[in-house]
Structure 1
Amino acid sequence: MTDASTSAATPALTSEIRDRVAVLTLNRPDKLNAIGAPVLDALEAELDRLRDDDRVRALVIAGAGRAFSAGADLDEIDRCTGPYDFRAFVHRMTDVYDQVQEFPKPSVAAIHGFAFGGGLELSLACDLRVAGRGARLGVPEMKLGVLPGAAGTQRLPRLIPPGIAKQMILTGEPLGAERAHAVGLVNALAPDDNVLAAARELAGLLAAGAPRALAAGKQLVDRGPGMDLAAGIAYERETVSVLFSTQDREEGLKAFKERRPPRFTGR
């Protein structure tokens, strides 16, 4: 077990590695895991540390206590003296969330209780989401007279139908987990007391894949929609051609013929 934080006594984030999966847990349960500088600094540092750690092939991001995250730290927002301060605050959030999305190893958000505002936006930066059946997911900023500022207005409509994204953003009303699953915001549902275990299990399936193919697959899906179809197909063709020369491709074919699980090494 390792901790990443600005305070050894009260870590803002904890990190545990087990079975090739790193679980990063937002650790401010007394503030419903509000996301501000301590969490962002710790998350960025841990992503940097795990990027080249061969023991880790997938991430789970979870929250301690009774919720995934209530969103951005309102105390920090209250200290913003004007739009430039606030812009710096949300810029920092989006920078770190971009690092989550661009992390070369796949990630799963384990959502229990609720994920609101900046908390939901953090989960949107993950590749996949598992939610407890009683969880609620939303961007309530409209009720405060503002809008999501950490890519919520951009990632939501790329993930779910635009009409439903508009409903969430313009009303500020959350979706229940069942509805979120039905529209594709959540990949899997789990009992409320078993969300982390279910997210670990899904991350374990991801971790069993070939590391280079996993990283390439993330890039293809994330970047492809920004290209026209012909360019996207060409990008895919070049990517899989490179993967064909890897040792993992050879191991995958050999394991298939021998009817055994492959032992991928990332080479």
Structure 2
Amino acid sequence: MEFLQVYKENRIATIQLNRPPANALSTQLIRELSKVFDDLEHDGEAKVIVLKGEGRFFSAGADIKEFTTIQNEADFAELGAFGQQLFDRMENYPKLIIAAIHGAALGGGLELAMACHIRLVSKEAKLGLPELQLGLIPGFAGTQRLPKYVGAAKAAEMLVTSEPITGEEAVSWGLATAAYPDEDLFEKAYSLAGKAAAKSSLSIRYTLELLQYAAKGQYGEGAKKESQYFGKVFVSEDGQEGIQAFIEKRKPNFKN
């Protein structure tokens, strides 16, 4: 991998963007991300994924210089579709993805972060979609995901002004779940990842899938699927272990 570093420890996989100076999302970086998610999906050593950036930023956006090499409308549309396909896959990924955002998550960087299941931020981080400042619009479904978190009016304000919000503001608007001082961010991210990694992989996978029904407003279908999965986890090896551990007043030893 040219622009990513991947390492695993304690059932947690770390994907670190490493494309200085701003971890801009080039086509090659997006292709590498796609390959890494291919590899990790069936990797038994990785139950949870932490996504973060090397250097000063999480990711300050798409690679604008690369845009100058794209020749026509169809090529731009193809680039957008490729990024959307990856981010849709991340949103529906069977393993928990936690974005640890420091410095800035702007443009494509924020679109990448919004595709993760959970976003933790540093208090002074800058989050925004400034594409309109360049006479452009977001291309990786930013106009669709941002309103889900901050509401249509706030999303419109952020887009038309191109002004970012801070990490603390992101929490208040629902775009992130918690904000920490810079020096504590990664420790908190791995603490959360560790708690998730202690759970059954099957339970996590079913939970993440069921949450997508709720996100899409499909209550009836989601509730029906939940009852089906409730039966499956109950008779699973991990489900039986969890029940027995509760009765015996000990921590469960999940196999998966």
Q: Shorter-chain-normalised TM-score: which range?
A: over 0.9
Structure 2 residue 116 is the aligned partner of structure 1 residue 126: yes
In the alignment of these two chains, the number of paired residues is 256
Question: Which one of the candidate residues 153, 178, 181 is aligned to 1:188?
Answer: 178
Superposed, which structure 2 residues align to 1:135-150 within 5 Å? 135-150=125-140
Question: Which one of the candidate residues 40, 56, 64 is aligned to 1:74?
Answer: 64
How far has the Cα of 1:145 moved from its partner? Answer: 1.6
1:24 alignment partner in structure 2: 15
Q: How far apart are the structure 1 equivalents of 2:196 and 2:235?
A: 21
How far has the Cα of 1:163 moved from its partner? Answer: 2.0
Structure 2 residue 31 is the aligned partner of structure 1 residue 41: yes
Contact 1:58 1:207 in 2 (8 A): yes
Q: How far apart are the structure 1 equivalents of 2:100 and 2:106?
A: 14
Q: How far apart are the structure 1 equivalents of 2:25 and 2:158?
A: 21
Q: How far apart are the structure 1 equivalents of 2:233 and 2:155?
A: 36
- Unmatched segments (≥5 aa) in structure 1: 6-10
Structure 2 residue 3 is the aligned partner of structure 1 residue 12: yes
Task: Decide whether aligned partners of structure 1 residues 104 and 232 sit closer, same or farther in structure 2, where only a CA change above 3 A counts.
Answer: closer
Q: Quick check: 247-256 or 17-26, which moved more?
A: 247-256
Contact 2:213 2:221 in 1 (8 A): no
Structure 2 residue 221 is the aligned partner of structure 1 residue 231: yes
2:106 alignment partner in structure 1: 116
Q: Percent identity at matched positions?
A: 36
How far has the Cα of 1:117 moved from its partner? Answer: 0.5
Structure 2 residue 47 is the aligned partner of structure 1 residue 57: yes
1:103 alignment partner in structure 2: 93
Q: Quick check: 98-107 or 136-145, which moved more?
A: 98-107
Q: RMSD value over aligned CA atoms?
A: 1.4
1:158 alignment partner in structure 2: 148
Contact 2:213 2:219 in 1 (8 A): no
Q: How far apart are the structure 2 equivalents of 1:45 and 1:262?
A: 33
Q: Give per-residue Cα distances to partners, 1:152-179, cap 9 Å, x unaligned.
A: 1111122232222222222221111111
Contact 2:203 2:233 in 1 (8 A): yes
Quick one: which amino acid aligns to residue 70 of structure 1?
A
Aligned to 2:90, what secondary structure does the other structure show?
Answer: helix
Q: How far apart are the structure 1 equivalents of 2:239 and 2:153?
A: 41
Q: How far apart are the structure 2 equivalents of 1:166 and 1:242?
A: 42
Q: How far apart are the structure 2 equivalents of 1:162 and 1:251?
A: 44
How far has the Cα of 1:232 moved from its partner? Answer: 2.6
Aligned to 1:24, what secondary structure does the other structure show?
Answer: strand
Q: How far apart are the structure 2 equivalents of 1:192 and 1:227?
A: 35
Aligned to 1:60, what secondary structure does the other structure show?
Answer: strand
Structure 2 residue 162 is the aligned partner of structure 1 residue 172: yes
Contact 1:224 1:232 in 2 (8 A): yes
Contact 1:44 1:99 in 2 (8 A): no
Aligned to 1:260, what secondary structure does the other structure show?
Answer: coil
Superposed, which structure 2 residues align to 1:226-265 within 5 Å? 226-265=216-255
Q: Give per-residue Cα distances to partners, 1:48-80, cap 9 Å, x unaligned.
A: 111111111000000011000011111211111
Contact 1:69 1:114 in 2 (8 A): yes
